[in-house]
Amino acid sequence: MPRTRQDNHHAAHAAHATHAAPRARDSPSDERDVPAAVRAPGRRGLMALVAPSRCALCGEWTADDAPTCTPCRATGRRARILFDTLSVRAGWMYGGDARLAVHRLKFSGETWRGEPLGRALAFALGAPPAPSTVVVPVPLSNARARHRGYNQAGLLARGLAAAWGLELRHDLVARVEHGGAQHERRRHERTGDRGTYRVVGQVAAPILIVDDVCTTGRTMSGVAAALLDAGCAAVSGAAVCWTFARD
């Protein structure tokens, strides 16, 4: 039987419905998730519509350029943790939206959170280190880097270094062993990490080590030990969150 124009119209409509790709809820271009304030007319509304930003902690859409929303900025609990060879500053206690944000960045592939969280950490910590400071992320083992596809500490370090105008070095420290994920290990297993990291190249400037969470300081202390052994004169640390060690 010959096809009519109406049959062709319905067939084309059905094909379009079948092959149309679903809209990802987490996509920044999905206007359904953008609040009315962001879509409001005017220069600010139009700019936010073109490139809307999301709070790196709670994930809510915001109409300003800050990496976190006002309520989340108020939740910051800065701390300075002192270890044998290292002083670490952190922006939030490991809980609530801060814990969820780090977990989603680290285990759920939400890489969009990384650099904004690094910028948020810079703002939360306040005074930057000396302008000559070089920012170094805690490196992953090759196996974990292949499995995850990215280094969350590297994304955080990039945002923090950009916010403070500091040099960033991803290639200065390498991990030479894979001793298991920190979050899977109990306190008595978290002894020294000396020998797990090695420095590649020369070290002269002060170093700021960046990681996502500081618990016992084992990881960053291991990186610091390698840097100090290589001749670095000053090493400090920065982490998005801090928490107490598990017994």
Q: Residues 109-137: pLDDT tens digits?
A: 999 999 999 999 999 999 999 999 999 99
Cβ-Cβ contacts under 8 Å for 207 (sequence gap 6 or more): 133, 134, 135, 136, 172, 224, 227, 232, 234, 235, 236
Reported pTM: 0.74
pLDDT digits (tens, 9 = 90+) for 157-196: 999 999 999 999 999 999 986 555 554 444 433 334 557 8
Give residue-wise pLDDT tens across range 231-245: 998 999 999 999 986
Are 93 and 240 contacting, i.e. CB atoms less than 8 angstroms apart? no
Residue 66: its H or E element: none
Reported confidence tier of residue 28, pLDDT bands at 50, 70, 90: very low
Look at residue 241 in the predicted model and tell me its pLDDT: 97
- Contact (Cβ atoms closer than 8 angstroms) between residue 65 and residue 51: no
| Angle value at C-alpha 218, between 216 and 221, nearest 5 degrees | 120
First to last CA, the chain: 77
Q: What gap in Å lies between CA 54 and CA 68, rounded to an integer? A: 7
| DSSP state for residue 2 in the 8-state scheme | P
Secondary structure string (H, E, C) spanning 187-235: HHHCCCCCCCEEECCCCCCCEEEEEEEECCCHHHHHHHHHHHHCCCCCE
For residues 210 and 238, is the Cβ–Cβ distance under 8 A?
yes
Measured between alpha carbons, how far is 35 from 54 in angstroms, rounded to an integer?
A: 11
Sign of torsion over alpha carbons 176, 182, 185, 191: positive
CA distance 39 to 34: 7
What local confidence, expressed as pLDDT, does residue 192 receive? Answer: 44
pLDDT digits (tens, 9 = 90+) for 39-98: 344 444 454 454 468 899 999 888 778 899 989 988 888 899 999 889 999 999 999 999
Q: Which two tokens stand for residue 223?
A: 């990186």
Half-sphere exposure of 210 (CA within 13 A, CB side): 33
